[in-house]
């Protein structure tokens, strides 16, 4: 639950800072003349000028003289143009707000609408930005709770597979060995096949348990866990290389788990959907932290919508303040999943 407490606290503090900033900006814009008074003042000025002209040098005869019609038409055109300009300027912040609302994505946080325009518009944009801060903080806290519960459930299932199913299959193997020793000669091949099938099932159970609970991550560290992951996925026509130096900076436990799970999910997507025969894990130090890249030479993501796997990776990246990008490969082919973790993690 350490992850939950950390993320929740940081999410709320970041939300509070942004909300206070938005309120300060909103208050600074509160002195602007409102859109209502802008339009009212412009219309009133136009009507006053028109009345003054009609009472003064301009008169309207019956029938209307061409010069008089020209003056009235020109005044009307000026008034309409001025109204159009005021409305265009006044409503531009609302249009920007609409675009920001249409493109808002809680999995890609940080984007905010610019607080500008008349007082009512500035207040509306400030309220929207504050609401977005709260939604992002609540989303991060909820994701932290969900992923923490998911990890606990993974550990429980892995332990039951290892302790219960694994021990049962081991007992079956021992019993089959005793049967094979006593079985007639013509039945021994069939008993041997049963032994091989049971042994293969036991190996598969152990492999699933290792993927559910990466013991090598806890025992040997992140670099060894990533190398082991590359070896594990080097099968069924997929060759996975790794470039992982030994002088990487230490990361918090939560960040190491996120890096491992992102690499695991990226390789799983490669094996299932990419149609690739080569993949690579690169983990290196960069100027402001560390970077994980999982690339392949498959068919790429194209225009397909992001699935649950990529969405899950984005959720995990948010927990440690990392940036995750899914892009075409560096050679224009395949896919690169890039995770950038700031120095110190979160």
pLDDT digit string, tens, across residues 305-333: 666 678 888 888 888 888 888 888 776 67
Closest Cα to residue 3, out of 151, 133, 198, 112? 151
Closest Cα to residue 10, out of 255, 316, 259, 320? 320
Task: Provide the pLDDT confidence category of residue 12 given band limits of 50, 70 and 90.
Answer: very low
- Note whether 239 and 278 are within 8 A (CB): yes
Is the pLDDT at 60 greater than 70? The verdict is: no
pLDDT for position 179: 84
Q: Which DSSP helix (H) or strand (E) runs through 278?
A: strand 278-286
Rounded to 5 degrees, φ, ψ at 197 are -65, -40
In eight-state DSSP terms, residue 187 is: G
Task: Provide the pLDDT confidence category of residue 13 given band limits of 50, 70 and 90.
Answer: very low
Task: Provide the pLDDT confidence category of residue 202 given band limits of 50, 70 and 90.
Answer: confident
- Find tokens 């019609």 and name the residue: 69
Domains of the chain: 2-146 (no CATH), 214-346 (3.30.565.10)
Is the pLDDT at 298 greater than 80? The verdict is: yes
Give percent of the chain above pLDDT 70.
Answer: 79
The answer to whether the pTM exceeds 0.75 is no
Is the pLDDT at 10 greater than 50? The verdict is: no
Higher pLDDT, 337 or 50: 337
């Amino acid at each position: 639950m350490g992850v939950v407490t950390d993320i929740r606290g940081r999410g709320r503090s970041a939300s509070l800072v942004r909300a206070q900033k938005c309120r300060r900006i909103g208050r600074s814009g509160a002195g602007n003349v409102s859109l209502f008074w802008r339009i009212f003042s412009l219309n009133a000025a136009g009507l006053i000028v028109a009345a003054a002209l009609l009472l003064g040098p301009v008169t309207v005869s019956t029938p209307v003289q061409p010069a008089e019609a020209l003056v009235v038409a020109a005044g009307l055109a000026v008034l309409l143009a001025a109204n159009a300009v005021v409305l265009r300027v006044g409503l531009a912040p609302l249009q920007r707000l609409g675009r920001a609302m249409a493109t808002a994505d809680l999995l890609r946080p940080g984007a905010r609408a610019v607080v500008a325009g008349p007082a009512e518009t500035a207040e509306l944009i400030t309220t929207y930005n504050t609401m977005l801060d709260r939604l992002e903080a609540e989303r991060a806290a909820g994701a932290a709770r969900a992923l923490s519960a998911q990890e606990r459930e993974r550990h429980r299932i892995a332990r039951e597979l290892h302790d219960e199913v694994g021990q049962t299959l081991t007992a079956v193997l021992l019993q089959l060995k005793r049967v094979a020793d006593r079985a007639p000669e013509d039945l021994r091949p069939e008993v041997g096949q049963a032994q091989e099938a049971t042994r293969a099932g036991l190996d598969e159970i152990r492999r699933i348990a290792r993927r559910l609970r990466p013991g090598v991550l806890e025992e040997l560290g992140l670099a060894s866990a990533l190398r082991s992951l590359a070896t594990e996925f080097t099968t069924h026509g997929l060759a996975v290389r790794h470039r992982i130096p030994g002088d990487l900076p230490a990361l918090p436990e939560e960040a190491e788990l996120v890096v491992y799970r992102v690499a695991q999910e990226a390789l799983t997507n490669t094996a299932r959907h990419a149609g690739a025969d080569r993949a690579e894990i690169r983990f290196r130090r960069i100027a402001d932290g560390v970077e994980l890249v999982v690339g392949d030479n498959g068919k790429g993501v194209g225009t397909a919508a992001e699935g649950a796997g990529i969405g899950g990776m984005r959720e995990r990246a948010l927990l440690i303040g990392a940036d995750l990008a899914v892009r075409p490969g560096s050679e224009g082919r395949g896919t690169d999943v890039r995770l950038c973790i700031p120095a110190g993690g979160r």
